[in-house]
Structure formats: structure tokens, C-alpha cells
């Protein structure tokens, strides 16, 4: 079985010997990413197509901010370029080759069970937000908070969101608390059948 270019780095983890191209439209001529043993971090260097500069337009370096997980790099690339999360995850080659979602009825039942719990928007709130987003009931994905349409996202988009929310857990920051992001991370992991 051959691995698609979108999944060639799916198994990338900290310490993984990696130096690869970033196939992001508009940034794909010279952009690279990988693992840097010296900083113990992932990194990315992106040049907009047509740039003649020696220095990348976007430089995500573990020397200035640690990127301990592939999703951390993906999240910052989304935020710096405005590219769609799925496009970035595919450009890095970290997409799951065959993502699947749990049945909508099972996810809806999980939402109902979680609604009986109250944690003031923390961990359970993160789970509820992520699960509602997977059903098209919430327009703001938990990792970026950038409005999307109300349709139910496809499995590959949910899997891309899981990469970004895991990256958010590792990087911290953002609009919500770490408890919220951790809850969203767990809910998306569960939704993807893991």
C-alpha cells in the first residue's frame, strides 16, 4: 500500500528524523519543516512563492518558541498564513490516511451525557464545544475560533482540527483555558474512534 503525500509524515513524533517540504499552495516552492535535535523542537520555514529573500517570510523556530508536537507547527502556520486547517495538515503530510468518525447518534448521545455535568466552560465545556462542532451545531472550531459554516465537517477536517487542538494544548494560549483545550482534544480523539 502506498502512502499518499498528505499522509507521508503521519507518524511524526518528537525526535522523528524529519526534514520535508511544505506543500501549501502559495508557499510550496521553498518552504520546509522538520525536527531539530538541537532545540528539541519541530520547526518550519515558509517563503511565499515568488519571494527572492534568503530569509523565510515565516520562521517557526524551537529556539524562540518550542514546537513539541507536529500540530503545534500546523496551528501556527494556519494562524500566520490564514490557510485552511485541512490544507495545512495535508501540506505537512501529517493527515490520517483514512480518518473515520463515530456515528452521529453516538456523538449526540455523548453530548447529552456531558450536558448533565457542569464545569463552567472548562474541561467538559471543551468537550461539548468540540462535539457540537463535529455535528455542525457550533461554527467556531475549538483550536482557532475562526468562524466556519454550519455544516457537519467531513472526517478529514475533524482529523485536521484534532491536530490543531493538540498543538494548542502543547502551545497554550488562545481564547480559552488549558482545561477547555484539553477537553476538546479528548473529545475529538474519541470522535475519531480512538
Q: Three-class SS of residue 43?
A: strand
Residue 2: per-residue pLDDT: 55
Could you tell me which residues are beta bridge partners of residue 135? none
- The lowest-confidence range among 19-33, 75-89, 147-161 is 147-161
- pLDDT of 74 > 70? The answer is yes
- Which helix (H) or strand (E) segment holds residue 169: the answer is helix 155-171
- In whole angstroms, what is the distance from residue 129 CA to residue 35 CA? 32
Tens of pLDDT, residue by residue over 78-129, are: 999 999 999 999 999 999 999 999 999 999 999 999 998 866 668 999 999 9
Residue 111: per-residue pLDDT: 95
- Which helix (H) or strand (E) segment holds residue 127: the answer is helix 123-134
On whether the CB atoms of residues 35 and 15 are closer than 8 A, the answer is yes
> Which residues, 6+ apart, have CB-to-CB distance to 167 below 8 Å?
69, 70, 71, 72, 73, 74, 75, 76, 143
Q: Exposure of 137 by Cβ count < 10 A (0-12 exposed, 13-18 middle, 19+ buried)? A: middle
Tens of pLDDT, residue by residue over 8-19, are: 999 999 999 999
Q: Count other Cβ atoms within 10 Å, centred on residue 3.
A: 12
Q: Which pTM was predicted?
A: 0.93
Amino acid at each position: 500500500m502506498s502512502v499518499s503525500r498528505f499522509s507521508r509524515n503521519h507518524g511524526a513524533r518528537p525526535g522523528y528524523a524529519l526534514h520535508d517540504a511544505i506543500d501549501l499552495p502559495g508557499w510550496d516552492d521553498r518552504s520546509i519543516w522538520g525536527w531539530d535535535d538541537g532545540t528539541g523542537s519541530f520547526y518550519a520555514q515558509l517563503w511565499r512563492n515568488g519571494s527572492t529573500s534568503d530569509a523565510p517570510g515565516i520562521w517557526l523556530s524551537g529556539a524562540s518558541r518550542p514546537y513539541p508536537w507536529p500540530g503545534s507547527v500546523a496551528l501556527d502556520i494556519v494562524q500566520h498564513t490564514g490557510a485552511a486547517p485541512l490544507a495545512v495538515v495535508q501540506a505537512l503530510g501529517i493527515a490520517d490516511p483514512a480518518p473515520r468518525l463515530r456515528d452521529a447518534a453516538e456523538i449526540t448521545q455523548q453530548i447529552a451525557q456531558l450536558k448533565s455535568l457542569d464545569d463552567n466552560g472548562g474541561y467538559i465545556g471543551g468537550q461539548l464545544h468540540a462535539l457540537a462542532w463535529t455535528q455542525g451545531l457550533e461554527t467556531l472550531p475549538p483550536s482557532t475560533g475562526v468562524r466556519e459554516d454550519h455544516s457537519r465537517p467531513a472526517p478529514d477536517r475533524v482529523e485536521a482540527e484534532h491536530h490543531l487542538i493538540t498543538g494548542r494544548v502543547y502551545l497554550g494560549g488562545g481564547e480559552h483555558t488549558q482545561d477547555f483545550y484539553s477537553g476538546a482534544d479528548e473529545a475529538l480523539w474519541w470522535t475519531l474512534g480512538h
